[in-house]
Amino acid sequence: MILFQSLAILISCRIRNNSLTIFVLEQVNMKNGFPVKQLGAAKIASSLPISCRSKHENFKFVDDDNCILHDVAVYSVNKEKNAYSFEQAGPRAQSYFDASKVRAGIVTCGGLCPGINNVIRTIVMQLHHNYGVQHMYGFRYGFQGFIPSYQHEIVDLTPDNVRNIHNLGGSILSSSRGPQDPSEIVDCLKRNNIQILFCIGGDGTLHGAHAIAEEVERRKEKISIICIPKTIDNDIPYCVKTFGFETAFSKAVEAVQAAHSEAYGRNYGVVIIKLMGRNSGFIAANTSLACPDVNFVLIPEVPFTIQGEKGLLRLLERRFENKKKQSRHPHSVIVVAEGAGQDLLGNNGEERDASGNIRFKDIGFFLKENIQKYFKDRYPVNIKLIEPSYMIRSLPANPHDAIFCYYLADHAVHAAMAGKTDMMVGYWNGHFTHVPLEIVNKNQKRIDPHGEFWRQVLFSTGQAGDLYSHK
């Protein structure tokens, strides 16, 4: 697919007998349906060609008119005739900020995630070495770090003191949950003469950053607010994946493999693995797809039942019965996301954490208790509950995530220096993009119960679709 500034020409290519045939399908109007805010005109020539030791004419800058098509499906484009797009991320030829005067801040919020320190390191290194920024600061303990009453120190971030942090899990800046007053945060930014703020976090952080950007705009200040999406749940919209997800689910696969050995090692062995996933079951589903030893996977997007002929308990019993008939070893592995089955636990959402998120009841313990009760007079089940979630989220990033973190942070720096604001760096259709926070905060990415991905998960586990019916 080839994309131009305001007109997209959709092409199809076919290679046959070493010859390339190109078919022009249709011309469609391409609209930037997601415009990114700009602090002002970028008029300062970028220092990147010099810093990267290449000639200006050989250095490829990205123009603001470069767009990435939102929907690449031909039928969708042809149907609407208007193809909406994102602004492409990358270095700009002109900077908005004078690097010699810039003071930049970094804050990490929410739960831990592999790769946070990789992002911090890259931001500092890129600002310092490629743009010449000399003053960079870390705000401790999330948005609390801006509020004077908490008395958290502001940390100097230099190339020397971040050089090796990519080898560490967690965040060197620590974190916290819960909203803080945007007015106080902007006061702190002004007090410390911060022109750029990088916010690393999930959906709560993105909402908070948007509120900060709105307060900045209300005051008519020139402060860039740039977000790097962080969550192992992988539930940020307009971003195919978030950093840390690859590391988390690969380690979850190792946990499932060990759990399968545990289940298989006992007669009527049942192991429940509870993984993270509040409203989205991507870790649970991907882990189950990558590990064919999983027999049942339960996610928040799809209601299920445990009682009755079509419930989990009866299906588990049938599995034991079939294994016995086949003279095979009866055992089972169940993967469940933390947010699954909350209706079965009577969770009405009244209890909330500091960030306003629903406090989930323990679906893992609920399943273990009910399985034990159901099989008490049927089969001598040996049941184990494993919760590796807090271990896998605190690991250092694996090589794949480390590279992804580098790209995200690199593009965040370019966007900030160009004067972009109130946006996050996304990843869409194989390209890094600029996405306005306003549209990000309107949605949440979840698994489509009727989509191809979930169908493949069901095929892999072999679990009955009737499990997801209350009839």
Residue 136 belongs to domain spanning: 94-243+395-440
Residues 220 and 309 in one domain: no
Whether 216 is in a domain gets the answer yes
Q: Which residues are catalytic?
A: 233
Q: What are phi and psi of 319, to 5 degrees?
A: -60, -45
pLDDT of residue 434: 96
Residues 428 and 296 in one domain: no
Residues 297 and 411 in one domain: no
Residues 181 and 66 in one domain: no
Give the long-range contacts of residues 317-320, CB within 8 A, separation 24 or more. 317/374, 317/375, 317/378, 317/379, 319/295, 320/268, 320/379
Whether 258 is in a domain gets the answer yes
- Contacts of residue 93, defined as CB under 8 A and 6 or more positions apart, other chains included, come to 45, 46, 61, 63
Residues 273 and 383 in one domain: yes
Three-class SS of residue 138?
strand
Q: How many domains does the chain have?
A: 3
Whether 83 is in a domain gets the answer yes
Residues 34 and 170 in one domain: no
Domain end call among 73, 88, 103: 88
What is the CATH classification number for the domain harbouring 133?
A: 3.40.50.450
Domain end call among 88, 112, 127: 88
Residues 72 and 211 in one domain: no
Q: At what angle do helices 282-290 and 452-461 cross, to 10 degrees?
A: 50
Domain end call among 46, 68, 88: 88
Residues 370 and 407 in one domain: no
Residues 136 and 80 in one domain: no
Residues 8 and 155 in one domain: no
What is the CATH classification number for the domain harbouring 256?
A: 3.40.50.460
Whether 232 is in a domain gets the answer yes
Quote the tokens at residue 452.
């191809």
For residues 122 and 409, the answer to whether their CB atoms sit within 8 Å is yes
Residues 219 and 250 in one domain: no
Whether 445 is in a domain gets the answer no
- Report mean pLDDT in 10-residue bins for the chain, 471 residues: 44 48 46 81 88 67 86 59 79 95 96 95 96 96 96 96 94 90 97 98 94 97 97 90 90 91 88 92 93 93 90 91 84 94 81 70 94 91 90 91 97 98 95 94 90 92 66 43
Three-class SS of residue 156?
strand
pLDDT of residue 347: 75
E strands present in 144-237: 154-156, 196-201, 224-229
Residues 412 and 268 in one domain: no
pLDDT of residue 77: 53
pLDDT of residue 249: 85
Query: Among 420, 405, 417, 411, which residue's Cα sits nearest to residue 104?
Result: 417
Whether 65 is in a domain gets the answer yes
For residues 345 and 365, the answer to whether their CB atoms sit within 8 Å is no
- Contacts of residue 234, defined as CB under 8 A and 6 or more positions apart, other chains included, come to 241, 242, 245, 280, 282, 283, 445
Q: CA 222 to CA 147: how far, in whole Å?
A: 20
- DSSP for 94-124, written as a single string: EESS-GGG-EEEEEE-SS--TTHHHHHHHHH
